[in-house]
Chains A and B, each alone.
Chain A
Amino acid sequence: MNHTDPTDSETSDADRSSTDTLGMTRSDTTAKVKASIKKRYARERRFRLYGLIAILSSLSFLAILVFTITKNGLPAFKQTFIQLDVTLDAKTLGLGDEPDQAQLLKANYNGTIKKALLAQFPDVKKRKDKKALYKLISKGGQYDLQRQVMESPDLIGQSKTVWLPAGDDASGYLKGMVDVTIPEKKRRFKDNQIEWIESLKQDNRVAERFNWTFFERGDSREPEMAGIKGALFGSILTLMVTLILSFPIAVASAIYLEEFAPRNKWTDIIEVNINNLAAVPSIVFGLLGLAVFINFFQLPRSAPVVGGLVLSLMTLPTIIISSRAALKSVPPSIRDAALGLGASNLQVVFHHVLPLALPGILTGTIIGMAQALGETAPLLMIGMVAFIVDVPATITDPATVLPVQIFQWADLPEKGFVEKTSAAIMVLLAFLVAMNTFAVILRRKFERKW
């Protein structure tokens, strides 16, 4: 206690003090309050400190998470290309004089690339070395070549300089992710391959470009050809189904339960069950979806429509509960005002209560949607975990979604998928941030004071 002259003030207080009903002098009270006040302030300061520590630690965890993901994921947004001089002669391609589209589709572009590689490195003779050499170019390179030839068939018979995507090991080496100090036996990318790549580099035949492939293609077994577009579209389609189904149903149920339903045993049971449903593990909804939508209703497997249905079941309770809370928080005076003017119950709800509750409802919807976006378990049960190369165009096409794609890529042994996994997480987070931003904008728009 380091009060400034406590004795002085106390005595002077005591002089002036009068006795109150409890028989305590006023100076007694002052002294007691003074004694406790320091403790109270100290307690408050301590509490604030704890709060600050809690927030700072969670922020630092978030920062570490974002940093690691970004660090791992950024290389995936770059793609390495190798320049080759390919000779598109009909013989190597295995084509006749007048090839039609079907023949062009099946032509041996791989052979052409191999020939070009051998031409680049004429010293390579052994079968094993040749195989290693071929791995420098991605297996996806032949499809690039195929597309070019099919677009302009008069290329046949000509020589052409093309940029082809590098194989995943070569790509990893070029991005600096191969540790050359490791003994050759223990690493996938061998010394002779390094030699070839370095010589290509010196000829300026190696380039790094923005990885459009990642955003333009679906899944692939080759990490350098694998893209996120399939999963992204799968997610968008699934969420669209979820939103279209769950938003109107949930809001309508919330309005009915909150504004119209009589309060009795049955509505109580419904209320309890809605609250329970919100706590049901999501995999249970997946099993339900499998049993009901796929086995009973014979809906297609792995399709966004089923995914959307299952996720709607999961999202409904969340939206219903938050919508009811939002409706409940609309001041009763507004309802009274509208009713007093002769508005019917429905008019009261749709003219006044719903517009005022909308910001809250939208918040709940976005929380539900974000949950649905990140959900994996129920989708595994309905087959959305399948390996799907094509980008889904409709809600009945087989598809996968972002979190499932992340789960799949994280499981694959190729090193190239490590960066893809992180990049996919970045895309998922970006999607989430975009969704939340949209929600905030909508909420701002509808928010009104009363």
Chain B
Amino acid sequence: MTSNNSDASTNTDTSSASSVTSSLGPLDLEKGQGTKEQSIEEIVASLGDTVGKTRVDNPKMSATGVDVFYADKQAIFGVDLDIANNEVISMIGPSGCGKSTLLRCLNRMNDTIPICKVTGELTLDGEDIYGRDTDPVLLRARVGMVFQKPNPFPKSIYENVAYGPRLHGLSRNKSELDDIVITSLRKAGIFEEVKDRLDAPGTGLSGGQQQRLCIARTIACSPEVILMDEPCSALDPIATAKIEELINELSENYAIAIVTHSMQQAARVSQRTAYFHLGKLVEVGHTADIFTNPRHELTEKYITGRFG
């Protein structure tokens, strides 16, 4: 299934080996040599097809044989993955493993990087999103994104949420727009905190509030899929808990893909988990299975904190 072509893996062999070595502690190295346990380099070199079920019954988005290149450097190698309706899928893996890159491919945010090239097939409801007829603007209205750092516009809270609907002409008049703004803020669980100061600048909120404002802004466009790129990495545990709760609620209506460095977070919010390593999708499966019974050696090593 995975088109793990040989020349691509040799291409990155040297760089991958060194980066993995550096991420290992001295103890791991000593242990790896001489014993029957394989070293990380050996495992990576022998990476084969993705372990686990990459396909689901009701895919909202699906990727087939996706390769991503930044100029000559390949960042993602033949990834197959489905994102199901009304489900949260979390993507985990060490830094630089390509999980954010894949996420950004899903709403073509990578288009802004001129040296980035995407091959393979990515579909939304069966339509090729990199196809000639697909408009990235429309795609991004359907596939919303929440970023790592809260990035509200330097405008009022109201304007932040109203921007998307206004852009796409989703409301016919002021009162409809007001409704959208209030509903979105309410869905994002921030309305009670800001209802008295909708005219205050969005940048004046706390980090957690800003991130929820960004989520409200995203759902105001009524997207079908929400992509989240480490949405809690800049937040404290209380704000994180609020966002996670919110993700749980949102998963009833949206397909959500979340990139995270926190395995606890992945375990808490997602139904399925995909583990990436050096641009390859190593294992995918139900979250409970991945964390309690990983089938691939690398996954096991990662979730038990042996590297990463």
Contacts and interface: CB of A to CB of B under 8 A. Distances in A.
Contacts of B261: none
Interface stretch (B27-35, B62-70, B136-144, B292-300): B136-144
Given A333-B149, A334-B151, A450-B203, A341 B112 contact: no
A144 B144 CA distance: 76
Interface in A313-344: 331, 333-344
Contacts of A333: 147, 149, 151
Interface in A19-66: none
Interface stretch (B49-57, B160-168, B175-183, B275-283): B160-168
A148 interface: no
Nearest to A344: B137
Contacts of A341: 140-141, 144, 163-164, 167, 217-218, 221
A342 B167 CA distance: 8
Given A262-B114, A342-B221, A352-B153, A337 B147 contact: yes
Given A342-B141, A347-B167, A352-B153, A337 B214 contact: yes
B107 interface: yes
Nearest to A341: B164
B203 A449 contact: yes
A265 interface: no
Contacts of A336: 109, 112, 145, 147, 151
B21 to A, nearest CB: 24
Contacts of B147: 333, 336-337, 340
A263 interface: yes
Given A262-B114, A263-B114, A450-B203, A339 B140 contact: yes
A346 to B, nearest CB: 10
A415 interface: no
B154 interface: yes
A268 B90 CA distance: 41
Nearest to A335: B112
Contacts of B137: 342-344
A340 B203 contact: no
A334 B155 CA distance: 11
Interface residues of B, number: 27
A344 B201 CA distance: 24
Interface residues of A, number: 22
B154 A448 contact: yes
Determine the main DSSP class of B at the interface with A.
Answer: helix
A145 interface: no
Given A347-B167, A449-B203, A450-B154, A340 B145 contact: yes
Contacts of A448: 154
A443 to B, nearest CB: 15
A333 B221 CA distance: 19
Contacts of B221: 341-342
A449 B154 contact: yes
A347 B167 CA distance: 9
A335 B149 CA distance: 13
A262 B214 CA distance: 30
A416 B236 CA distance: 74
A423 B243 CA distance: 67
Nearest to B203: A450
Most chain B beta-carbon contacts within 10 A, residue among A263, A337, A342: A342
Contacts of A450: 153-154, 203
Interface string B6-49: 00000000000000000000000000000000000000000000
B112 A342 contact: no
Contacts of A352: 153
Interface string A414-450: 0000000000000000000000000000000000111
Given A336-B145, A342-B139, 9 more contacts: A333-B147, A337-B152, A339-B109, A340-B147, A341-B167, A341-B221, A342-B167, A356-B154, A450-B153
25 contacts: A331-B151, A333-B147, A333-B151, A334-B153, A334-B154, A336-B112, A337-B153, A337-B214, A338-B163, A339-B109, A339-B140, A340-B147, A341-B140, A342-B139, A342-B140, A342-B164, A342-B168, A342-B221, A343-B137, A343-B167, A347-B167, A351-B163, A352-B153, A448-B154, A449-B203
Interface of B: 107, 109, 112, 114, 137-141, 144-145, 147, 149, 151-154, 163-164, 167-168, 201, 203, 214, 217-218, 221
